[in-house]
């Protein structure tokens, strides 16, 4: 019984949820900032209105000889004369007080007190009272001296509260509408952005169902590494399957003849000696081992590890010089720093070893191993490795024979002639090619080219 699958939200749901959360936080901060700025501006306007009322009262007030304030019947601000107008004012001296007719029947009335000369008093919304009050302490010159005078104006705070409430309702209504439009726009944008991923998933499902062999669509640059690597994996799988199938076919073909010989001898009633049977079995075992090694070497990895080339060349060169010390072999190495070969490290050692050994056998004591960077690629650059010798060289007709499995340029040399063919298989498995050209040392140059990607 399979384990239950854990719930995993889609990328669209995750991105949309994150965008909505960030949008809500942003709109809340913006709304609060706008609300606070508008509230401060409204309070400042209210204070300026009350200050204007105070100066209007000051322009019409008189103080009699007893120090009491006297106001005309017709005031400069009509609302001060109209009861219930929500705008009120007053004048206070030490001898008496005047309050505007608009306070008739109003309870509770604004509380006012005498202020020192030059001092101001303001109570806004934050004060939490029943009235918004603004007052100024002044001095009034009388015949017998200077009298203290306080003028104040008050306004019903509900007016400001209603103004702020209307503004806030409109603000949050429009912010909600803007947030909804932004969410819809983000949803459309995310769906368009994630559409290539859905196409990749559909094509991958078609590949799994056998309806297509590779991912063929044109995708954004950010998805190209994914699609390219998927196609590389698919290609490597098919190539490895083909190589394994070919190796099995080669193995069956190689075993067919010795098996047929044994079958014919058994059918003819011929008595086989133990030595003949062991010889036949040894040959079959050697064939099986070679074919398995060949199949293993020809396996291609789509995403191989990077192996630094220069250390492999130098250590191989040192080994060759020690091995061929009696012949006075000298191996020079020229390798650009930072070069990497993308293949199995064991395969790189075998390629370098076979090519240098071949150059040591057929050269005249001098070998040059070089590696350089070729054409640039998006993910990795082209790598060119060369092994030069100062031997007799190789003509074009002989080059094809040397690259064939078992081909040899000199039948007198020791070995089975498999080295170059093995190198060719390893290079081909890594997606490259092997060439034989004229060497700058006068002999042959075996060039391995691993193309860019």
Q: For residue 1, what pLDDT is reported?
A: 45
Percent pLDDT > 70 in the chain is 88
Q: For residue 132, what pLDDT is reported?
A: 86
Asked if pLDDT for residue 415 goes beyond 50, the answer is no
**What is the arithmetic mean of pLDDT over 229-258?**
74
Q: DSSP assignment, residue 270?
A: P
- Which stretch of 93-102, 174-183, 299-308, 375-384 has the lowest confidence by average pLDDT? 299-308
Asked if pLDDT for residue 31 goes beyond 90, the answer is yes
Asked if pLDDT for residue 417 goes beyond 50, the answer is no
Helix (H) or strand (E) holding 190: helix 157-209
Alpha-carbon distance of 79 to 133, in angstroms, equals 16
| Fold that domain 306-450 belongs to in CATH | Heat Shock Protein 90 (3.30.565)
Q: For residue 369, what pLDDT is reported?
A: 93
Q: For residue 180, what pLDDT is reported?
A: 93
Q: How confident is the model at residue 405 (pLDDT cuts 50, 70, 90)?
A: very low
Q: How confident is the model at residue 158 (pLDDT cuts 50, 70, 90)?
A: confident
Asked if pLDDT for residue 356 goes beyond 50, the answer is yes
Alpha-carbon distance of 43 to 167, in angstroms, equals 14
Q: Which one of 265-269, 282-286, 295-299, 369-373 scores highest in mean pLDDT? A: 369-373
* SS3 per-residue string spanning 11-57: HHHHHHHHHHHHHHHHHHHHHHHHHHHHHHHHHHHHHHHHHHHHHHH
Asked if pLDDT for residue 243 goes beyond 60, the answer is yes
Alpha-carbon distance of 313 to 427, in angstroms, equals 16
**What is the arithmetic mean of pLDDT over 180-207?**
88
- Which stretch of 215-229, 331-345, 403-417 has the lowest confidence by average pLDDT? 403-417
φ, ψ of residue 399 in degrees (nearest 5): -60, -40
**Residues 170/72, Cβ–Cβ less than 8 Å:** no
Q: For residue 293, what pLDDT is reported?
A: 65
**What is the arithmetic mean of pLDDT over 206-225?**
81
User: How confident is the prediction for the chain on average, in pLDDT?
Assistant: 82
φ, ψ of residue 111 in degrees (nearest 5): -90, 125
Asked if pLDDT for residue 444 goes beyond 70, the answer is yes
**Predicted TM-score (pTM) of this structure:** 0.54
Q: For residue 336, what pLDDT is reported?
A: 84
């Amino acid at each position: 019984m399979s384990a239950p699958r854990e719930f995993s939200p889609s990328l669209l749901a995750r991105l949309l949820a994150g965008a909505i959360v960030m949008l809500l936080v942003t709109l809340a901060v913006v709304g609060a900032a706008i609300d606070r700025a508008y509230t401060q501006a409204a309070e400042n306007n209210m204070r300026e209105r009350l200050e204007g009322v105070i100066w209007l009262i000051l322009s019409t007030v008189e103080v009699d000889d007893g120090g009491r304030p006297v106001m005309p019947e017709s005031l400069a601000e009509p609302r001060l004369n109209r009861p219930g107008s929500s705008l009120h004012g007053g004048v206070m001296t030490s001898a008496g007080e005047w309050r505007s007719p608009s306070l008739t029947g109003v309870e509770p009335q604004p509380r006012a007190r005498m202020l020192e000369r030059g001092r101001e008093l303001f109570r806004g919304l934050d004060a939490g009272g029943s009235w918004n009050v603004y007052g100024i302490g002044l001095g009034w010159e009388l015949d017998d001296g200077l009298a203290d005078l306080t003028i104040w104006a008050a306004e019903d705070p509900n007016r400001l509260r209603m103004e702020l409430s209307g503004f806030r309702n409109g603000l949050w209504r429009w912010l909600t509408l803007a947030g909804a439009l932004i969410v819809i726009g983000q949803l459309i944008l995310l769906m368009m952005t994630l559409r290539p991923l859905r196409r990749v998933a559909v094509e991958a499902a078609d590949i799994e169902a056998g309806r297509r062999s590779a991912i063929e669509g044109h995708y954004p640059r950010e998805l190209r590494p994914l699609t390219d690597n998927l196609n590389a994996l698919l290609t490597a799988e098919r190539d490895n399957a083909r190589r394994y199938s070919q190796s099995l076919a080669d193995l069956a073909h190689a075993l067919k003849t010795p098996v047929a010989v044994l079958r014919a001898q058994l059918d003819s009633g011929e008595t086989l000696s133990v030595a003949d049977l062991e010889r036949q079995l040894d040959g079959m075992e050697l064939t099986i081992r070679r074919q398995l090694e060949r199949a293993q070497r020809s396996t291609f990895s789509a995403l191989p590890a990077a192996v630094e080339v220069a250390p492999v060349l130098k250590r191989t060169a040192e080994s060759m010089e020690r091995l061929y010390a009696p012949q006075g072999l000298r191996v020079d190495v020229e390798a650009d720093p930072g070069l990497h070969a993308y293949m199995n490290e064991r395969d790189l050692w075998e390629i370098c070893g076979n090519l240098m050994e071949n150059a040591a056998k057929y050269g005249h004591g001098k070998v040059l191993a070089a590696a350089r960077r070729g054409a640039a690629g998006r993910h990795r650059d082209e790598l060119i490795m060369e092994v030069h010798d100062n031997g007799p060289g190789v003509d074009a007709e002989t080059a094809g024979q040397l690259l064939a499995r078992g081909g040899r340029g000199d039948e007198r040399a020791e070995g089975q002639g498999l080295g170059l063919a093995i190198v060719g298989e390893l290079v081909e498995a890594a997606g490259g090619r092997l060439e034989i050209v004229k060497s700058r040392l006068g002999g042959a140059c075996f060039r391995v080219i691993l193309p860019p990607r």
